[in-house]
Structure 1
Amino acid sequence: MKRYPKTISILLLLLSCSIGIGQEKKSNGDNYFFQYEYRQAILAYEAERLTQPLTAQQQLNLADSYFKTNAFDKASDLYASLYENDSLMTGHHFNKWLQSLSKNSKKGRVNELLAQKPEYLSRELMENAEFNTALLQSEIASTEPDYQIFNAASNSAQSDFSPAFYRNAVLFSSGRVQNTKKRNRAGNGFLNIFVSGIRPDGQLAQPITFEGIPSSNFHKATPYYSAGLQSVFFVTSNSENGELLFDENGKNALSIAKQREGGTLQFLFRDLSTSFYYPFYDEGTERLYFAANFEDGYGGTDLYYVSTNNGQIMSAPVNLGPRINSPGNEISPFIFENSLYFASDVFYGLGGMDVYKSNIESRDAFSIPINLGEGINSAEDDFGLIMRNEGDGLLGYFASNRSGGKGDDDVYGFKLDEKPGLKTLTLRGIVSKSNRSSEKIPQALVRLKDSQGNILARTTTDDEGAYRIEIPWQESVTVESAKNRFSTYSQVYDEDELTSFEGQDFNISLAAYDDLVEEKEGQTVVKLKDFFFNTGQTSLIPEITAELDKVVQFNKDFPSVQFRIETYTDSRGGSSTNFRLTQNRSDAIKSYLIEKGVPSSNILYSIGYGEEKILNNCTNGVYCLEILHKKNQRSLIVVLNDNVLFE
């Protein structure tokens, strides 16, 4: 079958009505191209460039025509020429170029282009591509449960697509011939909406024309039924009094309408120059999702939403962002159990349009969209997935132009025990300072390793200390985080623990070395509160051990540190007595630290200096207040290798 039949998706299905009568035609090639007659356009353009060079736009049209007709080698050559000349190439066409190369088994060239990181490709897109490529090649891709997929009995020899649940029935769009059907300017019949009952086995009964929306002779397609609003959303041609409406350039665009049961028809999006596709209403958030090709988008059609109040639009359209939208086309949004399903023809898929799933992590944040893999997806076009809970499992439908169907696009049903999609592990959260959690750590490394120590993925925190990392599911993972002059976090988690993290923030704390040390007496020491032994005593009282516990934690955070314990006293008493006293106190500190887990190899010296280093004038025979003598009674935990610790 053709890779892109005229009815593969709303992008080509419904745009066939937008051929403008006022559009200037520069050549026969242009005429055919704008009427989606791609094979004739190729012949015309090739003949024309024998007599005169094609314009850059015509070269791009010719490349697109080859792409639409599966001549991927010729398409990729033309896209390459346009790319090298920096002429008219957009992210949307760059995506087609990469698709052409992939179809020609030139993955090496694709990787070369991706390595150049052209401006067309966002950071999120690169992450999405890398992740899905690894996921589809992983062992988990071959261990997913088999789908029970069946071709719907309601399909015709024409195109049938865009299924939507309607009570115990399914609505769908169809290009099947009707006696009253008019033809658009491309010579194709207009689409209509049909309804089929759902049989106990999930099969669809003989369809009939859906009477729940006003009849017209023009396009009506891609329905969605909201039980809460008792309304059907659908796409329709802009028309008035039985005639199509065109903008000043001769374009007839597509609007989104809402028909409430027993009510009047209401147009929600209507612009003679802009088409809107695939409405989906989310009951929980009251958001109306749709696809459109606005100028500020990321490529072809992007997914957007508007906030509504009982179905009435209350906000401007919001783009779902570069995590979802790509330089390709994104269509057919559908939300089920906090996951967004949609179709995209982005270059790293299995074929043309593939269905992806992205978990909704917060109101406007999404996980990496995951290709659903073989079964739902194929080497051809797969789109418009819907599903619902049915008995002990799931019942769903989607459209595909895979081989073996009855028409250009067919509706397929499937049954499955659990939600489709390859299982992944997502960790997200904040990396902050352990002693001051309000202080976030930007540019901190976060990485995941498997049980053999291989790095599975890595990322760095943003300016707010936030990170997000996602990998194919693992039964055991080591989570690591680090930054220069900070401690290192490393912890192994098993499958049960990883499962418990799903949907929860996974925050990480790192100790900041520079917050834990200070300069004293010309050397780097662990930052501690002043503590004092009882007069003439060497035993460790609670206020001393509370400070020494900080040293124990410091060593855990920085296990390579090397210490020297120094203890001093004041000048009162004999010098030899003071020397023995401070030596015993240093030894007592050393014993405590070792008892609490500090390796003895980390404590290189334990020294008592007696009254050798008096810090003020309180020397032998000089009268001083107690507070001044106290200044000379001190213990320091010196970090000996401070200058090389982070080299």
Structure 2
Amino acid sequence: MKFKFLITILIIIPLLGFAQDKKSKADNLFYGYRYQQAIAEYKKEMEKKPLTNHQLLNLADSYFSTGKYDNASELYLEVNKNDTIMSVNRFNKMLQSLSKNSERDRVKTFLRSKADKLSPELLENAEFNYSLLEIPAGNEDKTIRDLGVNSPQGDFSPAFYKNGILFSSSRSRNSKNVYEPTGESYLDIYFARISSTNTLVDVETFKEIPATEFHKSTPYYSTKLSTFFYILSNTEDGELRYDENGKNALAIGTLSENGRFRFILKDLSTSFYYPFFDDTTERLYFAANFDDSYGGTDLYYVYTNNGQIMSAPINLGPRINSPGNEIAPYIYEGSLYFSSDVFYGLGGMDVYKSNILANETYTIPVNLGEGINSVSDDFGFIIQKAKEGNGLSGFFASNRKGGKGGDDLYGFMLDKSPGLKTFALGGKVVNLRNKAGLEGAQVRLLSQNGDVLKEVVSNSDGSFRIEVPWMSQVTIQAMSDGYSIFSTTYSEEGMEEIQNSSYNMGLAKMEDLVTEREEKTVIKLDKFYFDKGKSTLNAQVEGQLKKVIDAVERFPQIRLRILSYTDSRGSSSYNKRLSQDRANTIKQYLLNNGLGSHNILEATGYGEENIVNNCTNGAYCLDFLHKQNERTLFVVE
């Protein structure tokens, strides 16, 4: 039995409310999960009268579930023209059908045509992963092995426990009732020991969790709490409990080391899947399909205090959740691993990895590629440090060809962390003067060679988000019409630091950086003075020159004329020479700190020429009046 089948039940049952009170024979077959028979019956009914759109979608789902993707995509596309009743989950199935038919270019075209109606996260995730999957897979460091513990039934959901793993299975047991939709036993939890060669041996029913006549599955053990988390059928006094629509859902329960059991997430109309407790944050992650779902099942978390639920479920958002189904969350070394059947994968469920940043945002989930993933369903990925050597090892489930049953357990060995590492940056582009966000600013990431890696446009509030594959150096630029250019370069250490905080870039308008003085357009600076009779820089002068450098960096097209003046005290020749020395010192400092020779048209000392007041030779003036004549202008051409 495929665990994904349980998710299918959860998705299809709500559709009953849309069906007519008097369902046709084909409808009854469809809602009974007998898809092949439903297809044949729908074809018969079509000969008598046209099917409703709801029935066409049922037929499309039946084709999809039986692997007839050509027929499925044709029907999905037909109903989609009405743009009225197709759910986002069926939208995902439509694109999946096209992808499975090797019509990826058609999917990309379709996405572009619907870009205004789809979330930017979905479009960016798809574009990124499509590009990633075009890169030849370098899987030489992966060792994937089928494990001898598999049965002809479904075996999935591995979870580390002591010297082995817990896993779920529908393998036959005399004491277990048969689950009617699959004809197999209700799910139960088993234990297998991990051998020295990373295979699984000595399988046995896990007896530490009390037996139940119904589903018991997807366990996770928290070392911090010494507690088991797992899902089980809603029951009361040993009997199944149903909601008003006759549905029995799956709940999450816990069992502490002292044997105390309690339900912690329970709703008769909502099923919960794949609990994962993060010992570091004490968050409990799981999959469910609440009303705020982005598609089928989404990933959520709740805050806990020592395992006690302390918040309402929080959706992980559109960066992680998609129009498809997301299940099996697992966090290892700051990365979230999960599985999704979103349309841009290799096929069916694929395993993805997203890095969790310090500001609690997520990088683009990247497909782990062929090996871990296949054209079939791959899910329940767990990973840890290998017992020997410096590598990593783990397990996952898959129904790929060559297995023993429906879903089988597989083991793997890796030399390094799987999945492409990315550099993700988010923040705002703002007006440097008033800090207001700038809409429509271009934000670019450049490689070490100056090639544009990616370019995005800031939103109405100036916010932006941009992400590229990791590299050793990146240059970040921002620009907007009528504004300056922001540009700075970071090495890997700096990249690690800035991607974990909001990164704001200030742009200035030219008029905010310049002013009119002595009938010239000059860079706006505070008054500064050299030490008396000297041309060497002091801290005050250097501080103002940094503003000049900043202005030119923001507006690289600026051309400057450096004009230096003294007061009238001292001889004319001495003042001329002193002002020229000061102009030369300034020019050299600017050239040494980023400006090019093309930015400086001249650097001239005028001595006591162009006195701005009456303090000429021989005139008595107070010191502050003499100082009005000592100045340097940076004239903008």
Structure 1 pair 348/534, CA: closer, same or farther in 2 (3 Å)?
Answer: closer
Matched position secondary structure for 2:178: coil
Cross-structure match for 1:278: 274
Match among 166, 169, 185 for residue 171 of structure 1: 166
Cross-structure match for 1:364: 360
Cross-structure match for 1:318: 314
Question: d(CA) in 2 for partners of 1:502 and 1:147?
Answer: 32
Matched position secondary structure for 2:633: strand
- The answer to whether the aligner puts 1:122 opposite 2:115 as a matched pair is no
- The answer to whether the aligner puts 1:98 opposite 2:112 as a matched pair is no
The Cα shift of 1:134 comes to 1.6
Cross-structure match for 2:327: 331
Kindly provide the CA deviation profile for residues 176-229 of structure 1, in whole angstroms up to 9, marking residues without a partner as x: 222233234536332222222223222222433222223222211111122332
- The answer to whether the aligner puts 1:78 opposite 2:75 as a matched pair is yes
Matched position secondary structure for 1:236: strand
Cross-structure match for 1:591: 584
Question: d(CA) in 2 for partners of 1:234 and 1:203?
Answer: 24
Question: d(CA) in 1 for partners of 2:564 and 2:151?
Answer: 92
> Which deviates further from its counterpart, 424-433 or 342-351?
424-433
- The answer to whether the aligner puts 1:56 opposite 2:60 as a matched pair is no
Q: TM-score, normalised by structure 2?
A: 0.86
Does the 8 Å CA contact 2:383/2:395 hold for their aligned counterparts? yes
Question: d(CA) in 2 for partners of 1:566 and 1:318?
Answer: 62
User: Which residues of 2 match residues 479-558 of structure 1 at below 5 A?
Assistant: 479-484=475-480, 485-491=483-489, 493=491, 512=508, 514=510, 515-531=512-528, 539=535, 542=538, 547-548=544-545, 550-552=547-549, 554-558=551-555
The Cα shift of 1:316 comes to 0.5
Question: d(CA) in 2 for partners of 1:541 and 1:230?
Answer: 66
User: Which residues of 2 match residues 384-395 of structure 1 at below 5 A?
Assistant: 384-389=380-385, 390-392=387-389, 393-395=391-393
Structure 1 pair 607/583, CA: closer, same or farther in 2 (3 Å)?
Answer: farther
Matched position secondary structure for 2:274: strand
Question: d(CA) in 2 for partners of 1:261 and 1:550?
Answer: 65
- The answer to whether the aligner puts 1:29 opposite 2:29 as a matched pair is no
Structure 1 pair 623/26, CA: closer, same or farther in 2 (3 Å)?
Answer: same
- The answer to whether the aligner puts 1:131 opposite 2:128 as a matched pair is yes
Does the 8 Å CA contact 2:429/2:462 hold for their aligned counterparts? yes
Cross-structure match for 1:645: none
Structure 1 pair 508/102, CA: closer, same or farther in 2 (3 Å)?
Answer: same
Query: Which residue identity is paired with 2:299?
Result: L
Matched position secondary structure for 1:81: helix
Cross-structure match for 1:428: 425
Question: d(CA) in 2 for partners of 1:297 and 1:506?
Answer: 27
Does the 8 Å CA contact 1:343/1:383 hold for their aligned counterparts? yes
Structure 1 pair 263/464, CA: closer, same or farther in 2 (3 Å)?
Answer: farther
Query: Which residue identity is paired with 2:32?
Result: Q
> Which deviates further from its counterpart, 120-129 or 434-443?
434-443
Query: Which residue identity is paired with 2:83?
Result: D
Question: d(CA) in 1 for partners of 2:550 and 2:11?
Answer: 66
Structure 1 pair 16/538, CA: closer, same or farther in 2 (3 Å)?
Answer: closer
- The answer to whether the aligner puts 1:196 opposite 2:189 as a matched pair is no
- The answer to whether the aligner puts 1:220 opposite 2:208 as a matched pair is no
Query: Which residue identity is paired with 1:398?
Result: F
Cross-structure match for 2:336: 340
- The answer to whether the aligner puts 1:209 opposite 2:205 as a matched pair is yes
Does the 8 Å CA contact 1:487/1:510 hold for their aligned counterparts? no
- Name the count of aligned residue pairs: 625
Structure 1 pair 479/278, CA: closer, same or farther in 2 (3 Å)?
Answer: same
Give identity over the alignment, percent: 48
Cross-structure match for 2:181: 186
The Cα shift of 1:557 comes to 4.8
Cross-structure match for 1:291: 287
Structure 1 pair 591/249, CA: closer, same or farther in 2 (3 Å)?
Answer: same
The Cα shift of 1:532 comes to 5.5
Query: Which residue identity is paired with 2:214?
Result: F
Does the 8 Å CA contact 1:19/1:35 hold for their aligned counterparts? no
Question: d(CA) in 2 for partners of 1:452 and 1:621?
Answer: 60
Question: d(CA) in 2 for partners of 1:150 and 1:605?
Answer: 72
Cross-structure match for 2:141: 146
Question: d(CA) in 2 for partners of 1:283 and 1:305?
Answer: 13
> Which deviates further from its counterpart, 478-487 or 328-337?
478-487
The Cα shift of 1:314 comes to 1.0
Matched position secondary structure for 1:214: coil
Does the 8 Å CA contact 2:378/2:396 hold for their aligned counterparts? yes
Kindly provide the CA deviation profile for residues 360-411 of structure 1, in whole angstroms up to 9, marking residues without a partner as x: 2136322211111111101110000112222223331111000000111111
Kindly provide the CA deviation profile for residues 262-284 of structure 1, in whole angstroms up to 9, marking residues without a partner as x: 42321112211111111111111
Question: d(CA) in 2 for partners of 1:606 and 1:363?
Answer: 48
Kindly provide the CA deviation profile for residues 601-625 of structure 1, in whole angstroms up to 9, marking residues without a partner as x: 4333556778886767889999976
Matched position secondary structure for 2:218: strand
Kindly provide the CA deviation profile for residues 77-110 of structure 1, in whole angstroms up to 9, marking residues without a partner as x: 1111122111212221111111111111112211
Does the 8 Å CA contact 1:20/1:249 hold for their aligned counterparts? no
Question: d(CA) in 2 for partners of 1:202 and 1:9?
Answer: 29
Structure 1 pair 202/532, CA: closer, same or farther in 2 (3 Å)?
Answer: closer
Structure 1 pair 502/370, CA: closer, same or farther in 2 (3 Å)?
Answer: farther
Does the 8 Å CA contact 1:424/1:470 hold for their aligned counterparts? no
Structure 1 pair 584/429, CA: closer, same or farther in 2 (3 Å)?
Answer: farther
The Cα shift of 1:573 comes to 9.2
Structure 1 pair 405/601, CA: closer, same or farther in 2 (3 Å)?
Answer: closer
Structure 1 pair 511/218, CA: closer, same or farther in 2 (3 Å)?
Answer: closer
Does the 8 Å CA contact 1:18/1:252 hold for their aligned counterparts? no
Question: d(CA) in 2 for partners of 1:56 and 1:45?
Answer: 12
Structure 1 pair 172/541, CA: closer, same or farther in 2 (3 Å)?
Answer: closer
Cross-structure match for 1:644: none
> Which deviates further from its counterpart, 513-522 or 72-81?
513-522
Structure 1 pair 545/586, CA: closer, same or farther in 2 (3 Å)?
Answer: farther
> Which deviates further from its counterpart, 539-548 or 123-132?
539-548
Structure 1 pair 601/445, CA: closer, same or farther in 2 (3 Å)?
Answer: closer
> Which deviates further from its counterpart, 125-134 or 615-624?
615-624
Does the 8 Å CA contact 1:15/1:253 hold for their aligned counterparts? no
The Cα shift of 1:526 comes to 1.1
Question: d(CA) in 1 for partners of 2:174 and 2:13?
Answer: 19
Matched position secondary structure for 1:298: coil
Query: Which residue identity is paired with 1:591?
Result: N
The Cα shift of 1:242 comes to 3.6
Kindly provide the CA deviation profile for residues 53-87 of structure 1, in whole angstroms up to 9, marking residues without a partner as x: 22221111111111111111111111111221112
Query: Which residue identity is paired with 2:235?
Result: S
Kindly provide the CA deviation profile for residues 586-613 of structure 1, in whole angstroms up to 9, marking residues without a partner as x: 6444422332215554333556778886
Structure 1 pair 587/312, CA: closer, same or farther in 2 (3 Å)?
Answer: same
Does the 8 Å CA contact 2:575/2:607 hold for their aligned counterparts? yes
Cross-structure match for 1:602: 599
Structure 1 pair 25/616, CA: closer, same or farther in 2 (3 Å)?
Answer: farther
> Which deviates further from its counterpart, 432-441 or 278-287?
432-441
Does the 8 Å CA contact 1:306/1:316 hold for their aligned counterparts? yes
Kindly provide the CA deviation profile for residues 328-374 of structure 1, in whole angstroms up to 9, marking residues without a partner as x: 00001111222111100011111110011111213632221111111
Structure 1 pair 482/7, CA: closer, same or farther in 2 (3 Å)?
Answer: closer
Cross-structure match for 1:410: 408
Question: d(CA) in 2 for partners of 1:405 and 1:187?
Answer: 19
Q: Which runs of 5+ in 1 are unaligned?
A: 641-647
Query: Which residue identity is paired with 1:267?
Result: F
- The answer to whether the aligner puts 1:40 opposite 2:37 as a matched pair is yes
> Which deviates further from its counterpart, 455-464 or 283-292?
455-464
Question: d(CA) in 1 for partners of 2:215 and 2:9?
Answer: 10
Does the 8 Å CA contact 2:615/2:626 hold for their aligned counterparts? yes
The Cα shift of 1:630 comes to 5.0
